[in-house]
Copies of this chain bind each other. A is one copy, B any other.
Amino acid sequence: MAKWTIKDIAKKAGVSITTVSRVLNRKEEGMSAQTREKVLRVIEELEYQPNRLARGLVTKQSKLIGLIVPTISNPFFPELCRGAEDEANKYGYSLVICNSDASAEKEERYIKILKEQQVDGIILSSQSGLSSASLDRHSKNLHYVLLDRMEREKVPGVFLENEEGGYLAGQHLIQLGHKKMACITGPESIKNSRDRLKGFKRALKEVGLEPTIIREGDFSLESGYSHAKEILENENVSAIFTCNDLMACGVYRAAHEMGVGIPQDISVIGFDDIPLISALIPKLTTIRQDTYMMGRKSAELLIQQIEHGKTDFTIFSPTLVVRESTAYVKTGEETIK
């Protein structure tokens, strides 16, 4: 029951600690099967577990990976975590998850703590370019990958073709005949949301439409709600593209309160395809990213980097998932009036 050390095992098995260590680490190498068995039995019996701190001290590997996310409350990120965790576990790593509350300062603090904790690498889903830059400063002795948030080009990490996603959204609405559309973006400071908007605009421009109403949100449900309310009151649009699903939820709420029907009166299209939107009525049409797989991939890339020094990046493509919240634009009274 107490905590046994390798010494205890050695003594009890009547061998040296070296031998025990060998049994522990090297799979099948030179040693009599007999000795091996003996040691194994003692280990089993005492429920011995090696101390990773001590092991890490000599091997320089903590088998810990840090994962920093901006807002664990957005269901997008738990999926990312799940993926990263599953993959990390496969390779014997554990995940230290940190929630930065989208604060650059907190990010910096976490990076520092994680380094102290001797993590073998960090997966950073950064809100601010700031701390990814600071990661960079330390990159000589720290492996890291960026996840989902890329502020600069050519950095190791996992990203999404955000512009393509925006483009898909625009294209879809256009095909449904919409002419006057609004977009509720994420923070201007985040490249992801800039790109989504850019793609959206490009789709419109291709058919000679000017991008219309644009409002800057902050990826929160509340910001989607308030912007939608304002838009529905003051502007004459037949569709709204929100740069994430959470804001689309806000649009739903606003529309409901104002008696505006989705999709009869207004089409709504989101971005992310977070699990919970299956609860929305009508079902939300959205731009899907494979969040879980992106999480996995980020861990895979990081571990590749840790174990084989390969720095690489992967770009995922979003897909359009058509459900019930978008429809052909109304002809007749509304538009003619």
Contacts and interface: CB of A to CB of B under 8 A. Distances in A.
A14 interface: no
A249 B276 contact: yes
A164 interface: no
Nearest to A249: B279
Interface stretch (A51-59, A121-129, A166-174, A192-200): A51-59
Interface stretch (A72-80, A176-184, A314-322): A72-80
A85 B62 contact: no
A79 B85 contact: no
A253 interface: yes
The oligomer's copy count stands at 2
A116 B51 contact: yes
Given A96-B95, A99-B82, A118-B53, A281 B281 contact: yes
Given A1-B141, A75-B75, A141-B2, A118 B276 contact: no
A140 interface: yes
Contacts of A282: 256
B85 A78 contact: no
Contact of A81 (B97, B116, B221): B97
B98 A117 contact: no
B85 A99 contact: yes
Interface in A83-107: 85, 94-99
5 contacts: A53-B57, A53-B62, A77-B78, A94-B113, A249-B276
Q: Which 4 A-B pairs have the closest CB atoms?
A: A249-B279, A97-B97, A72-B78, A256-B281
